Structure 1
Amino acid sequence: MNLNLTKILFMNLLLFSTMLTISSMNWLSMWMGLELNLFSIIPIMNFNLSIYSIESTMKYFLIQAFASILLLMFLINKSMFFIINNNMLIILSLMMKLSLMPFHLWLPSLIEGLNWMSCMLLMTWQKISPLIMISYLNSNKTMIFIITMIFLNPIFGMNQNSIRKILAMSSINNTSWMLFAMLMNETIWINYFIIYSMLNFMIITILSKFNINYINQLKFFNINFFFKINLFMLILSIMGLPPMLGFIMKWMLIKTLMYNQMNLIMLMLIILTIMNLFMYIKMMYFILFNFNLFNKWYFKKKNFYYYNFTMFINFFKLFFSYIIMY
């Protein structure tokens, strides 16, 4: 009972801290919201009380505290000494919080020791406040210069066997798309974030139910043919292949870049996505071409109502994507 009350308390505090950052009228209040957000997510990351989660929490605290100190220093210089064009320094500290290139290597190593709920919060909810703060800067040239450094991240995800690290690299890739969407139109990046969060939630929920942590475990994933098709469609969707819903979030940005004649940036983003497909193709191989082997730990948490519910949502979003496109 006390643990449930503690979870509710810190989840509400996490929600309040993000709302504080979004609704603030000055940079100091936004910084306070970021700090409150950091102090509220640390107990959430330690609910399972394992030595790996404690180590990951300490890493997360040190990195976020260092980024917050840099951000506060740059904000003080901007407000007191009126340094011109130091938006790039502020963006660099926020990129460290978002785990973007070249400050991205801490996220895959940190996320390996956390449970799936904490991983989902790090890859979705924790990105809202820094992205909102970057959108307030309106520094187009600086953002384009910095985002070009992101295109090295697919190289680090090609040889990964851990699904957590693959999802972390996918999060870094999709955050770069969100930054470009924010540069073009605020509505596009909000829709992109909502669709990506929904897909991430559905995939992480399935992986958490069956305790799947590595790609090699997918060869034992022999529950149900239709449920395997469901997971297969979710992977296709987060890959961004048509006609899935994940393609819609990328198609909105590609269409906007075409209208603004930013063909080089559009080509670079498409090449980046094609390079990231290799990580997901390895997962799809074990789902489609398994060896009909299974172990008992996959059957201990059966919930057929949940299976039907996730399959309904997954197939419904397939037809919903057609409605948006046409």
Structure 2
Amino acid sequence: MNLNLTKITFLTLLIFSTLMSISSSNWLSMWMGLELNLFSIIPIMNFKSSIYSIEATMKYFLIQAFASIILLIFLINKNLLFLNNNNLLIMMPLMMKLSLMPFHLWLPSMLEGLNWFSCLLMMTWQKITPLIMISYLNIDKNMIFLITLLSMNSIFGLNQNSMRKILAMSSINNTTWMLFAILMNEKLWMNYFLIYSILNFLIIKMLNNYNINYINQLKFFNLNFFFKLNMLMLIFSIMGLPPMLGFLMKWMLIKNLMYNNLYFTMMMLIILTILNLMFYLKMTYFLLFNFNLMNKWYLQFKKNKYNFFMLINFFSLFFSYLFIY
């Protein structure tokens, strides 16, 4: 994305609004930070204005504004509703902002109309403030377990062909893992979020460079062999397959769940994640079994713009082995 003064201004305001919310000491200041975040992300989503981006922006604005109104009402009446124990009511609009079940259907359709940079912000940066606000609530673990069961909605990505919708469903699933992580250990959540953001950035960067928006394009395009190899490793990583870097972030949470004797919750998270692997395998099918005009055994090791991605992928293997074993 080419930066100018306007874009830098709104990006700075976006960062400031998030820092304002997570550093506030009262709920009203957090709510004000959320509103400032909303009004700073709207122009960013419309840097390349089109009919699809305008429609996606209107969807995002209406949903976020509705969630903010509900959140403000519950915060004002915090001492009146349910005898000072309305944490679950406060959590509902925050779940809506995170696109968690049952408030999840707006995210895939909204991301379909955005450019890749805006999609990256939606799946990473915009999750920080609601997750930290949820961590301040005293939520029953049974409620979180129910959210985990409901997060099975991400298997709806099985019948999707759009790369944006598939990544949106992946984001919904990983948000459930992050929700458990931040309620157990804030440092654990920071590690998980950092790894998840890096993987999303690398995948979106490669898709944006080749202008790939649908799975079918992986089949009909005679793509670079190094692109296929890098994309395959990144997909395996975000799938959470060992020993890739994406497995490390899930392994840290699994160990913490075991230490806290939450074995049933751990098993449900793993089973739901295995179900989500199916729509990742659709992407790897074209990368593994599609023919390329270049012979695989005759590679010219010349300067390639994807050497940097290769270095990160192989480093992630070493990094995962170092911490897992």
TM above 0.5: yes
Worse overlay, 153-162 or 54-63? 153-162
Shift of 1:260: 1.5
Count of equivalent residues? 317
Would the aligned equivalents of 1:102 and 1:149 in 2 still touch at CA under 8 Å?
no
Shift of 1:225: 2.2
CA distance in 2, matches of 1:258, 1:3: 46
Match of 1:316 in 2: 315
SS of structure 1 residue aligned to 2:44: helix
Match of 2:269 in 1: 269
Match of 2:225 in 1: 225
Question: Could you tell me which amino acid in structure 2 is paired with residue 317 of structure 1?
Answer: S
Would the aligned equivalents of 2:100 and 2:151 in 1 still touch at CA under 8 Å?
no
Question: Could you tell me which amino acid in structure 1 is paired with residue 8 of structure 2?
Answer: I
1:229-248 to structure 2, matched below 5 A, reads 229-248=229-248
1:92-241 to structure 2, matched below 5 A, reads 92-141=92-141, 143-241=143-241
The 3 A distance-change label for structure 1 pair 9 and 305 is: farther
Q: Deviations over 1:152-205 (max 9, x none)?
A: 313311111101000000000000001111222111111110100000000000
Shift of 1:221: 4.1
Worse overlay, 230-239 or 149-158? 149-158
**Displaced runs of 4 or more, over 4 A:** 79-82
Would the aligned equivalents of 1:220 and 1:292 in 2 still touch at CA under 8 Å?
no
SS of structure 2 residue aligned to 1:242: coil
Query: Does residue 259 of the first structure (1) align with residue 259 of the second (2)?
Result: yes
Match of 1:279 in 2: 279
Would the aligned equivalents of 1:99 and 1:106 in 2 still touch at CA under 8 Å?
yes
Would the aligned equivalents of 1:109 and 1:165 in 2 still touch at CA under 8 Å?
yes
CA distance in 2, matches of 1:293, 1:42: 43
Match of 2:297 in 1: none
CA distance in 1, matches of 2:135, 2:323: 26
The 3 A distance-change label for structure 1 pair 167 and 71 is: same
Q: TM-score, normalised by structure 2?
A: 0.93
> Unaligned 5+ residue runs, structure 1?
295-303
Would the aligned equivalents of 1:21 and 1:33 in 2 still touch at CA under 8 Å?
yes
Match of 2:41 in 1: 41
Identity of aligned residues (%): 74
Shift of 1:149: 4.4
CA distance in 1, matches of 2:227, 2:151: 34
The 3 A distance-change label for structure 1 pair 27 and 55 is: same
SS of structure 2 residue aligned to 1:158: helix
Shift of 1:80: 6.7
Match of 2:324 in 1: 325
Query: Does residue 62 of the first structure (1) align with residue 62 of the second (2)?
Result: yes
CA distance in 2, matches of 1:143, 1:306: 47
The 3 A distance-change label for structure 1 pair 143 and 194 is: farther
Q: Deviations over 1:122-161 (max 9, x none)?
A: 0000000000100111323364254234333133111111
> Unaligned 5+ residue runs, structure 2?
295-302
Shift of 1:229: 1.1
Q: TM-score, normalised by structure 1?
A: 0.93
Would the aligned equivalents of 2:219 and 2:286 in 1 still touch at CA under 8 Å?
yes
Question: Could you tell me which amino acid in structure 1 is paired with residue 65 of structure 2?
Answer: A
Would the aligned equivalents of 1:239 and 1:277 in 2 still touch at CA under 8 Å?
yes
Shift of 1:230: 1.1
Would the aligned equivalents of 2:132 and 2:182 in 1 still touch at CA under 8 Å?
no
